[in-house]
Amino acid sequence: MNLEEMGKFKDISLLILISLAEEDKHGYAIMEDLKSNFSIELGAGTLYGAISRLEKNNLIKPVITEDRKIPYKITEEGKKLLSFQLEHINKIISTGKSRLRLT
């Protein structure tokens, strides 16, 4: 495994929440967003498995629409969790940079 592969962040649930924080999206749009912004290509099973878990935990919800594609929306609970996780990640990054003497 090379450094580029090791460096890819792959917590799919967190990345889905980040994608939906921008706007409501259907599954394919989430897949495209993750591919273009994080260079992560997901299979449909992986994506919809994560979406199902997020939905069960009330972190996202489907948006009622007549369209065949179901968009998903991040909930207030999802926004709170995402904010908490991002703060935690920033602390980890800050500590890591400090210990590497990069700051």
Q: Of the given ranges (1-5, 26-30, 67-71, 83-87), which has the lowest mean pLDDT?
A: 1-5
pLDDT at 6 over 50: no
Amino acid identity, residue 88?
H
The DSSP secondary-structure symbol of 72 reads E
Q: Please, which pLDDT band fits residue 39 given cuts at 50, 70 and 90?
A: very high
User: How many angstroms separate the CA atoms of 13 and 11, rounded?
Assistant: 6
Q: Which domains does the chain have, with CATH numbers?
A: 8-99 (1.10.10.10)
By DSSP bridging, strand 71-74 and strand 60-62 are: antiparallel
pLDDT for 68: 87
